[in-house]
């Protein structure tokens, strides 16, 4: 939102960003029949861009989710960048 722009309607303040579908477990409630792994997960650069875009639009909180986000090799970089 640029200076002088009026806010109309609800503003997005929070997003849940699923950064991976990888997980150490195979829980029945997560691995339903017909489930397929993501063929091409988002790159670090793509996720950093999403974080920038969200912040530019006034998002105050971004939660990293997944599968198991700690399985991403770049999760510390993503968390640090988001702070």
Q: Give residue-wise pLDDT tens across range 19-29.
A: 988 888 877 77
Structure tokens at 61: 């909180």
Q: Which residues are 65's β-sheet partners?
A: 18
Q: What is the domain partition of the chain in residue ranges?
A: 14-34+41-82
> How many residues are there in the chain?
83
**Residue with more model confidence, 6 or 71:** 71
CB 23 within 8 A of CB 70: no
Model pTM score: 0.74
Q: Give residue-wise pLDDT tens across range 49-73.
A: 999 999 999 999 999 988 889 999 9
CB 53 within 8 A of CB 69: no
Show the CA angle centred on residue 74, arms to residues 68 and 76, nearest 5°. Answer: 85
């Amino acid at each position: 939102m640029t200076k002088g722009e009026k806010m109309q309607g609800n503003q997005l303040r929070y997003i849940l960003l699923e950064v991976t579908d990888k997980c150490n477990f195979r829980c029945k409630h997560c691995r339903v029949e017909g489930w397929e792994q993501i063929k091409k997960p988002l790159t670090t650069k793509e996720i950093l861009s999403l974080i920038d875009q969200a912040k530019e639009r006034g998002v105050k909180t971004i939660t990293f989710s997944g599968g198991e986000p700690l399985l991403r090799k770049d999760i510390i970089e993503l968390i640090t960048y988001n702070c």
